[in-house]
Amino acid sequence: MKYRKLGKTGFEVSEVSFGGWAIGGSWGDVEDEQSMAALREAVNQGINFFDTADVYGDGRSERLMAKLRKETDKKIHIATKAGRRLDPHVAEGYNKENLNKFVDRSLKNLDVETIDLLQLHCPPTEVYSQEEVFEALEEMVAAGKIKNYGVSVEKVEEAMKALEYENLATVQIIYNMFRHKPGDEFLDKAKEKDVGVICRVPLASGLLTGKFSKDSTFAEDDHRNYNRHGEAFDKGETFSGVDFELGLKAVEELEKIKPEGLTMAQFALKWILMNDAVSCVIPGGKKPWQVQDNAAASEAEDLSDEVMERVDEIYDEYIRDSVHHLW
Query: Nearest to residue 114, comparing CAs of 124, 125, 103, 122?
Result: 103
The C-alpha atoms of residue 194 and residue 190 are separated, in whole angstroms, by 6
pLDDT tens digits, 95-148: 999 999 999 999 999 999 999 999 999 999 999 999 999 999 999 999 999 999
- Cβ neighbours for 307, distance < 8 A, ≥ 6 positions apart: 257, 259
- pLDDT-derived band at 315, boundaries 50, 70, 90: very high
Could you tell me where the DSSP H helices lie in 96-205? 96-110, 131-143, 156-162, 186-192
What DSSP letter does each residue of 242-299 carry, written as one string? --HHHHHHHHHHHHHTPPTT--HHHHHHHHHHTSTT--EE--B-SSHHHHHHHHGGGG
Domains of the chain by residue range = 3-322
- pLDDT-derived band at 311, boundaries 50, 70, 90: very high
The C-alpha atoms of residue 112 and residue 106 are separated, in whole angstroms, by 9
Could you tell me where the DSSP H helices lie in 78-150? 96-110, 131-143
Average pLDDT, the chain: 96
Q: How far is CA 254 from CA 294, 307, 315, in A?
A: 18, 9, 10
Q: What is the mean pLDDT of residues 174-183?
A: 98
User: Which CATH number is associated with domain 3-322?
Assistant: 3.20.20.100
**CA angle 281–291–57, rounded 5-degree value:** 80
pLDDT value of position 27: 58
CB-CB contact of 196 with 169 (8 Å): yes
**Burial (CB count within 10 angstroms: exposed 0-12, middle 13-18, buried 19+), residue 143:** exposed
Q: CA torsion angle for 271, 326, 232, 241 (degrees, to 10)?
A: -40
pLDDT value of position 214: 94
pLDDT tens digits, 19-66: 999 888 665 667 899 999 999 999 999 999 999 999 999 999 999 999
pLDDT tens digits, 289-302: 999 999 999 999 99
pLDDT value of position 48: 98
SS percent in the chain: helix, strand, coil, step 5: 45, 15, 40
pLDDT value of position 22: 87
Query: Nearest to residue 179, comparing CAs of 281, 262, 258?
Result: 281
Query: Directed axis angle between helix 131-143 and helix 96-110, to 10°?
Result: 40
pLDDT value of position 26: 63
Q: Which long-range contacts (CB under 8 A, 24 or more apart) does 158-165 make?
A: 158/125, 158/128, 159/186, 159/190, 160/185, 160/186, 160/189, 161/128, 161/129, 162/128, 163/189, 163/190, 163/193, 163/195, 165/134
CB-CB contact of 115 with 80 (8 Å): yes
What DSSP letter does each residue of 247-262 carry, written as one string? HHHHHHHHHHTPPTT-
What DSSP letter does each residue of 30-59 carry, written as one string? --HHHHHHHHHHHHHTT--EEE--TTTTTT
Q: What is the mean pLDDT of residues 186-215?
A: 97
Q: What is the mean pLDDT of residues 233-237?
A: 94
**Residue 191: helix, strand or coil by DSSP?**
helix
Q: How many residues make up the chain in this entry?
A: 327
Q: What is the mean pLDDT of residues 244-252?
A: 97
Q: Give the pairing of strands 12-14 and 3-5.
A: antiparallel
- Cβ neighbours for 131, distance < 8 A, ≥ 6 positions apart: none
